[in-house]
Chains A and B, each alone.
Chain A
Amino acid sequence: MAKPKTKPHFTPPTIDQLLVQATAHQTAHRYKDLVEVYKELLKREVRPEWQIALGQAYGQRARALAAKGMYREAVAMWESTSASEATELNLAVVVGWMLAAGMYPRAATLLQKVSILPENLQVRLGAILLMGSNELASNLPEDSPLIRHLGSARSALEAWCRGEDAVVREQLRAIPFRSPYRDLRQLLQGLLAADPDLLEAIPPTSPYVGLAQAALAAQAPLNDLERRIATLRPIEQELAATLRGVNLGQLRQVLEVRAATTSAKESLIPLFRWVTTQPAPVPEDQARRFALAILPHQPGLATPFQRRFGSLSPFEGARLSALLAEQEDDFRKAQQYWDCAFHTCDREEPTGTLMAALILRHQAKMQIQIHGPDEAEVTEYLNRSLKLDPLDRVTWLEMIKIQRSDSNPKWGSSAEQALVHLPEDSELLLLAAQGASERKAYKKAIGYANTLFRLDPINSGARRLLINLHLGHVRKSLKGYNIAVAGRGLEAARKFVYDDADGTRVAVHYALLALAQEDEVSARKFAVQAKVGPAGGIGVMLLLKVEGQQTGIKQNHLNSLAEGLAESTPMATQIVALLELAEELLLAHPEQIVFSAFSKSMIASLRAAAAHVYTEKQLVRLLDILHKSHQWDAIAEYAVAALEHFPEHPLFVFYQYLGYTHGQRNRLLNKDRTHLEKAREIAIEKEDIRTAQMIDKFLEMFPMPFQWRFPDRMPSGFPQHRGREVDRVLGEIAEEAGSSPDELRGMLEEFIEAMRGGEEKHEPTRRRRGGKNK
């Protein structure tokens, strides 16, 4: 048999142990256990301090329950304490618990013992009284504000619900500012005035705050509505929807659709469904337009669209298909659909023709995307578009720009055609004048320029254009030896002279006229007069040589008139003006004519001015001109000067070596090449593509298969072969001599070194300006 189990012996804790437990429970906020410990202690011995401690433990336990929202339990705990123990708790706090627990009759009884109620509790009591709690009302003194203002507050609220705003205002006047119904007063005033500030001012501890938030949500704009609705309790969400006059279910659906709509195509489907299923409130045409805009992104919705709004017209169908094809980057397909849209476009409608023209214009743009700026196709579309809509100046300008960039001589006549429809358009007038001038139709060009100047008399560009056109006509007349016409042209040009620069050009042409008449004295007099211009004598020289070439006057006559006009040391401002003049001349004359006009004496004058400090832009301009005129020494000189001010500037480094080598890559040293390659890298870093390309072009001008280099200057009679030619020659000699090409190459190098003898080593950085060390 099993041994019978013995019951464990239980030894109750001693008083000291219980007191230790009490301390531990108190520290750990275990008030339930604390109550039990003190109950146990009081069973052992009734001590007054333990009775007080038990009362305190009950109070703490009740507060802990209330903090968890267990008000009913908290009240029960409070009630289980004796009267003396209850002093621990403020009665007003217990009233608050009772109200929160909905224990209004008991709260009313307790209220009689409370002398002063906190304000927020009064507001809460007011709200409960408003809801019709008779128990509370009967326990409150009749002269208390809670009872005195109750009637007005209730009447005001009921009147607002009925929509009787005048009654509401009248009743609210009877509720003072400090009344327990002040929050209701503010709420109703905010609702009547639709004033969000009044509603926002209701404190969050007020029972009216939910109503205020519902009213605010109802007034919120759409972008804030979703956020506001989300923060409301279900009851207030319903109230907000009611105040807004919509159904809460529909409102939630709308907000969900809006929240789900992103740029993703899938998100458009619920949006489309919402739009197409909405009853009357959404206007039919607005809903249709909206749903139509979704179709290019969701072509599968075409069927439900047509079920809801009727079938799509052939034009709309083609347009939507074209847009869809464009989105898929299928431009050929898009082009076909646009063709279809163009043909189905209703021209009877007031905007139909314009739409057709715009489609053609759109097709021109797309044509550029497919084939690049294929001039013929693109201008064909633009021309067709302009036939339908000839007042579209943007398209005229676009077409002229394309024709001009494609060197199509029709661009001028296009500008003239455009002027038929837009006769006073400044830009078109300017283009027409330029086009006619290019064709040497000066009279026509002058006509356009005159119109432009009449429309805009302070347009300095138009004035200068007129001078240039008149002078162009003068040169043409001189070439035909039509002296009288040339004279009249000069008189006409003189009327538009405004500054010294204009005066110089006219005086130069007077000099040319005199030269044509073989009156050299007058020609010189006019040439000297012309020196007043900003570029001085050096500018007059350039003008005489460039403009004179078009007059048929003999070159030697021009040269003799021009020589001696240049200043020995021109001023920096004159050099700058000369560069500007050269650029201006380059716009009207072939490069060859302008650059060949830079004579030796002019270059000498330019070099004399090298000491002047120029801006980067001016130096670039000057070097470009010298480059195009093949003035190698001057290029090197200016490049070195420029590098003093702009060290490592890639373009100036390039020009330095271009000048040193006289434009011949085979004269470059290995270290020159390294320096140029570094300059190229800097140019790429600075996104100076032009310089990088210039360096590239220069370095690859002559492919060099050898690591060794040719000497800077070959001995007399020794041809400057290219690398491949040297290879070929060495191969042939090697065969005849019975040696290898490498051996011969070594011998040749030794020979070249010997020929150069003690010649100064090629050190570009130590060279003097212009490479004169060679």
Chain B
Amino acid sequence: MTTPFEILGVAEDADDSGIKKAYLARVREFPPERDPEHFQVIRAAYETLRGPRDRIAWRLFTSNVPDPAPLITTWLASGKPRRLDLSSVYRSLEAGIKELPPT
């Protein structure tokens, strides 16, 4: 369910040069001689999105259910990381001490 955009690691509104740049970066990461299977996947994704015509065709005719992961990641990333309060830390420590073997 991973989309070609996700495989190349580009935004859905990326242009030709952005897609080519991302493709070359991925190929450097997974060169065909070292990881041929992964390379094939990357190559196929690039061919799917190569030109504006290809990208529109993909949006129009692809009926694959997209992977929810990016959406969930966006949702998770939207959370503002917080610090713990002391009482929470102590509760964890206390639980840890109780559960640990005594020696």
Binding site for B on A (CB under 8 A): 66, 71, 92-93, 96-97, 99-100, 102, 118, 120-121, 124, 127-128, 130-131, 157-158, 160-163, 205-211, 214, 218, 221-223, 225, 233, 235-236, 238-239, 242-246, 251, 254, 257-258, 261, 263, 268, 271, 274-275, 278, 280-283, 286-287, 289-290, 293-294, 296-297, 319, 323, 326-327, 351, 354-355, 358-359, 361-362, 389, 392
Contact = CB atoms under 8 A, between A and B. Distances in A.
Nearest to A221: B73
A389 B74 contact: no
Main secondary structure of the interface of B (DSSP, over half): helix
A100 B65 contact: no
B64 interface: yes
B interface, size bucket: 35 or more
B82 interface: yes
B74 A128 contact: no
Contact of A210 (B56, B79, B95): B95
Given A355-B56, A358-B60, A130 B76 contact: no
A74 to B, nearest CB: 9
Contact of A124 (B56, B91, B100): B100
Interface in B9-40: 12
Contact of B97 (A99, A158, A282, A327): A99
A131 B93 contact: yes
A358 B97 contact: no
Contact of B79 (A124, A157, A281): A281
Contacts of B97: 99-100, 124, 127-128, 207
A254 B98 contact: no
A274 B68 CA distance: 10
Contacts of B56: 351, 354-355, 358
Contacts of A323: 61, 63
A274 B76 CA distance: 14
A293 B65 contact: yes
Contacts of B98: 100, 102
Contacts of A66: 102
A327 B63 contact: yes
Contacts of B64: 293
Interface string B69-80: 101111110111
Given A258-B69, A290-B68, A293-B64, A245 B81 contact: yes
A359 B60 contact: yes
A96 B83 contact: no
A222 B65 contact: no
A558 to B, nearest CB: 52
B80 to A, nearest CB: 4
A210 B68 contact: no
Contact of A161 (B61, B89, B100): B89
Given A210-B92, A235-B92, A244-B76, 6 more contacts: A223-B69, A225-B76, A235-B91, A246-B75, A254-B72, A293-B64
B57 to A, nearest CB: 5
B98 to A, nearest CB: 6
Given A124-B100, A271-B68, A281-B74, A207 B83 contact: no
Contacts of A163: 83
A98 to B, nearest CB: 8
3 pairs of A and B residues whose beta carbons are closest in the complex: A245-B79, A96-B102, A281-B78
A281 B96 contact: no
Contacts of B90: 130-131
